[in-house]
Structures are given as structure tokens and as C-alpha cells.
Chains A and B, each alone.
Chain A
Amino acid sequence: MLLQLDFSSEIPIYLQIRNQIVIGIAEGQLKPGDKLPTIRALAQEAGINMMTVNKAYALLKQEGHIIADRRSGAAVSGIPLEGGLDEKEKEALRLLVSQAKLSGMKLNELLELCTAYYENEEEER
């Protein structure tokens, strides 16, 4: 799986790492139990500060996407997440739907797009 870091983006680097790992897990590029590089190794590979990687991993761990401990490093969590989207995520989705609506997208077009993304991730799995 490729991580792509855009330093000119307004999205902080740690969030870019977190987002792409979440997408990678959803698309099945990273499977439950798959190891992730250590904080030091990923920071060296990307040429970024270890604190940035640490922040991304801490967020992923807090959200339940990965399990991490000092001895065995980080790995993709196999535990299924429950409860759907939280309030913050629902708010982000609402914003996205609003933007789609304002940009002239019809409801069925938006649903088709969502279905395509969802099914694509199902297929990848």
C-alpha cells in the first residue's frame, strides 16, 4: 500500500497518514493483523518528524483501527468497529453532502457515487 504525502495541502501530515491508512483498511489493502512500520521506520521513510507519525498512530489506535504496543509495534486491528459514524463524522458527511448539493449534484448522482465507493471497498476486501 502506498502512502502519499502532500506537503502543500492544508490537511496536516499526521491526518493525511491517518486518512490513508483508514482508506487502506477499508479497501482491504491492509488486512487485519497486517503489521505497520514502526514510528521510527515510517518517519525515516517519509523524512518527517517521529512526533507526526506518533500522532497519526495514536489517533488510529484511539479510533480502534490499529493496535500498538511497544514490543510488537503497530498492526491493523481485526476487531470490527461498531456504532457507525460518530457525531463529528456525521457533521463532516453533512458538510460533504451540502457541498455536493451546492455544486449541482443530484441526490441520485451522490448516492451512486457513495454506492460505488462502498462497493469498491467491499470488492477490494
Chain B
Amino acid sequence: MKAAFTAANVLLFIAMYMIVPILYFMLRNEAKARKNIILGVTLPYRAREDEDLLGLVKWYKIWLSLTMLALSLAVIPALFIGYISVKTTYYLCWLLVAIVLPFWPYVRCHLKLKKMKAEKGWTLEAPGRSYIDIKVALMPKKTVSVWWFLPPFLISLLPVFFTLFKNGGEFKAVGPVLLMYVIDTLLIVLFYIIYQFINRQKSEMIDDNTALSVALTQVRRYHWSRCWLFSAWATGLFNLALWVYADNMFLMTIVACLYTVAILYIVLRAEFKTRKAQYEMTKESGKRFYIDDDEVWILGMFYYNPNDTRFMVNDRVGIGMSVNYARRGAQVLMAFAVLILLAMPLMGVWLIDEEFTPVSLSFDSRALVAVHTKPKYIIELDDIEQLALLEELPPTYRISGSSMDSLRKGTYEVGEYGSCLVLLDPNTAPFLYIKTADRQYILGSADAAQTQRMYDIVMNKEIE
């Protein structure tokens, strides 16, 4: 069990906790009249100073703050948990609650406000119509030249080509590292695709003021286009830095932290800059004609419009874009996202099983079997070419697999041996080094006597 207050643990805590301030500021911002919408409900200008509405908004802010305070207190125990699997399970359960719970005050107030809207007659005579401003539809689409995406893409390709060139096409040793470089490069392509999506989105229209619609649309496209361009550059440079500092774990961690912070900053800046501009520009809207499409927004945040052929639309509550849940693809996506969310705590159960199940070695009909939750490696005795008993574990560097305080499992770079298949408890010496025709293994039971016994059995069999 490791000490709780290591740098890695504090970083993990910060990474997890970040969702609280982000959600808090995002949801608190929904209480401001922006594009004639308060708490996901479209309202006329005259409603903004209504006493009941102001009371509801106040109640909302108080409950939102209390919810966030409760979540902040609830995450603190995770800092003191030493076992990585228990800590991760706690974080995953907390994260699930932290994603869902802040929406409780929002949903309650949204429903109350919808009721208030109907009671006070803040509705339009013909809601639910779709409006298009011909002049806005004529606006040029692109705000950032697409060529700006090319340099980060090429920068990101450098590590891929150099890694391939250096190893002469030998994928086995550099596979996971190469995969990381390739994923980063593909991420830049993804950012470019999202950028294209942003430019194809419907223009922002809240009333019949063409100049306002043009300004709202331009502001949104400007900030989000730049967001994805900056993200592409940050990813390209990040990939390059990972390659340059490949031999320095400390610097790689620093670079990864900086990259995460940069991406978060870029995305949040785009969202809040857009929101601020929208708030300022639409302060005076809603006095006569305004657009109310509440009926196609479930709870003010899930877009459901069977008459709309678009798959993605600008988000009303939240960050960036949302999907049209009337489309089959969006429903599948939603089901998948919910499943992933619900499966998060289950991952914790698997991790606990991994950490608390001891590694064992056994001998079964002329084969050495290394078991951890289930038989992991079965090595036929006749295949063993070389066997050694190691009193100390050489330095290990994980390529793929699990690495915990009491477990090393998977493919590792091990000291002078190079790439090995590993299954052992690093706290319990001795360890077995086994070499077969095509593989190398480092194995070690959680019970030292068991490892010694296996060594004796294999040696004796070999002598026989």
C-alpha cells in the first residue's frame, strides 16, 4: 500500500475534481438570460424581472452551490485511500454521481419554470416553427483557413515516421509508443472534422434581427473554429514533445499535464467567450418577435426533432454541440454513453479483483501455470530452454498490461532481458526467469516458498 499523498495521487485528485468547478460555472451560467433562454426555457423580455422567476433563480443557485459543496466534500476521502483499486473505484463511483447530481437542481427548476411559463402566459401564439433568415444563410462559412491545420498534422507525423525509421519497421518493440503517436495524429484529423461540423451548423437565430443573427453566428463560429485549430496545434506539439522526451518519464508527465490543462483551457475559453458575447448581444432581445423552439428540447437540453434531418445541433445547455435524439444514430450513441457511465463502477470491481487476488504458480501435467484470477501463462516444460532464479527484480518498464503495488502483469521491458511476459508480485522475491524458443517470462508467486518450489520442480524435471 503506497502513501496517499504522492504527486501522482494529488494529480489524479485534481484531474477528477476539475469536473466540479467546470459543471458549477456552466450550470450557474444557465440562470442568466442568454438568447432569451433561462434554465433551458425560452422567455419573453418582460418575464426577466418577474418576482417568481427571480425567486426560482435564487433557489436554483443556492441548491446548485450546496450540491457542489456536497460533491467537494465527498471526494476528499479518496485522497486518503492507499489501495489503487479501491481509490479508483471510489473515484469512478464519485465521478458518476458528480456527472449526474448537479443536474438535479437544474431539472427541478427547469420543470418549475416551464409550468410558470404556461401559467403566466409567456408563450407564443405559434411556437415550434422553424425559421431561416435568408441573409444569414448566405453568410460565408469559413472563418479560419483550413491550411492552418496542415502544419500541426505534419508536426504530429514526425514522431510516427522517425519511430518507424529508427526501428527499421520493427513494430513489436515500439508498438504501444507508435500507437500513441498515431492516435495523437488521428486526433488532429478528428479536430479538423469537428471544425468542419462547426461551420456547417445552423446559424444562431433568436429573433428577426438579421444583424444580430449574423453577429451571433459569427461569434460562435469564430471562437469554436479557433478552439479546434488551437487544439490541433496543441496536440501536434504535444506529440512532438512526447517523442523528444521519450526517455524522461518526469518530463513526459509534465508535458502530459500541460497538454491536458491547455486543451481544457482552450475548450472552456471558447465556450465561455461565446456565452459572454451571446449574453451581451441578446440583452435587449425578446421584446417583440422572438423564436421559441422549447418543444423540440426535452428538459431544455436534449434536442428531439423528427422534422430536422441534422444529426448535430448547437447545444443549449452544456458545452459545444448536441445530437438530435430523433435520429437513430443519436439514440444508439446515447445508449452507449449511458452504458459506459453505468459500467464505470463495474471497472472498479475488476480492479479490486486484480489488486487483491494473489499471483500463484502451480505445476500441472508437465506444464508450469502462472495464475492470476485465471491461468495467464501455461509454459510446457519441454519448451523451457533456460531457467534462472532471480533474488532481485530487475528494473521493469510497462509496455502494456497492469501495474499495481502488488502486481506486474503483461508485457514489460525488464532490465537486461528486454521484452518479457510478466506475472509477479514485486514485493515477494524470488522470481523465475524462463526462456522458451520464442518468448521470455518473469514470474513470481505472492508466496516465496511456492516460487522456490516451482524452481526446484522444473530443475529436477530437466535433470531427469
Kindly state whether residue B276 has any CB partner on chain A within 8 Å. no
Q: Which residue of B lies closest to A37 (CB)?
A: B137
CB neighbours (8 Å) of B3 from chain A are none
A42 in contact with B128 given A37-B138, A47-B202, A47-B308 (CB within 8 Å): no
Name the B residues within 8 Å of A24 (CB-CB): 134
How many interface residues does B have (CB within 8 Å)? Answer: 21
Looking at the assembled complex, report how far the CB atom of A51 sits from the nearest CB atom of chain B, in whole angstroms.
Answer: 11
Q: Is A44 an interface residue (CB 8 A)?
A: yes
Q: Is the CB of A47 within 8 A of B130?
A: yes
Interface size bracket, A side: 20 to 34
- Distance (Å) between the CB of B296 and the closest chain A CB? 10
- Among the stretches A3-11, A87-95, A96-104, the one at the interface with B is A3-11
A93 to B317 CA separation, bound complex (whole angstroms):
47
Known: A44-B200, A44-B310, A47-B308. A1 touches B133 (CB 8 A): yes
A45 within 8 A of B: yes
Judged by a CB distance under 8 angstroms, whether B185 is at the interface is no
Closest CB of chain B to A99's CB: distance in Å? Answer: 21
* Residues of chain B lying within 8 A (CB to CB) of residue A42: 132, 137
The answer to whether B134 and A5 touch across the interface, beta carbons within 8 angstroms, is no
The answer to whether residues A35 and B129 also contact, given A2-B208, A44-B200, A47-B308 and a CB cut-off of 8 A, is no
Check if B128 sits within 8 Å of A48, measured CB to CB: no
B310 close to A3 (CB less than 8 A) = no
Contacting residues, chain A, for B200 (C-beta < 8 A): 44
- Please, how many angstroms separate the alpha-carbon atoms of A13 and B129 in the complex? 12
Closest Cβ–Cβ distance, residue A52 to chain B (whole Å): 9
User: How close is B437's CB to chain A, nearest CB, in angstroms?
Assistant: 61
Task: Scan B200-228; emit 1 where CB is below 8 A from any A CB, else 0.
Answer: 10110000100000000000000000000
Q: Does B131 contact A (CB under 8 A)?
A: yes
Let me know if A1 and B135 touch, CB within 8 A. yes
Bound CA span A6–B130, Å: 7
Identity of the chain B residue whose Cβ is nearest the Cβ of A6 in the assembled complex: B129
Contact indicator A47/B309 (Cβ below 8 Å): yes
Known: A44-B200, A47-B202, A47-B309. A36 touches B134 (CB 8 A): yes
Interface of B is mostly: loop
Of B133, B134, B203, B307, the contact of A7 (CB 8 Å cutoff)? B307
Most A-side CB within 10 Å, residue of B128, B132, B138, B208: B132
How far apart sit A27 and B182, CA to CA, in the bound complex (Å)?
Answer: 58
From A30, which residue of chain B is reached at the shortest CB distance?
A: B134
Give the docked Cα–Cα distance between A44 and B312 (Å): 11
> Do A45 and B202 contact each other (CB < 8 Å), given the known contacts A1-B135, A30-B134, A37-B134?
yes
Docked pose: A49 CA to B308 CA in angstroms? 9
Query: Which of A35, A37, A45, A46 has the most CB atoms of chain B within a 10 A radius of its CB?
Result: A45
A7–B129 Cα distance when bound, in Å, is: 7
Q: With a CB–CB cut-off of 8 A, which chain A residues contact B128?
A: 7-8
Extra inter-chain contacts (9) besides given A7-B129, A8-B128, A44-B310, CB under 8 Å = A1-B133, A4-B129, A5-B132, A7-B307, A30-B134, A42-B132, A42-B137, A47-B309, A49-B309
Going nearest first, the 8 A-B pairs with the smallest beta carbon separation are A47-B308, A37-B137, A7-B307, A3-B132, A5-B130, A45-B137, A47-B310, A45-B132
8 CB < 8 A contacts A-B: A2-B132, A5-B131, A36-B134, A37-B138, A47-B130, A47-B307, A47-B308, A48-B308
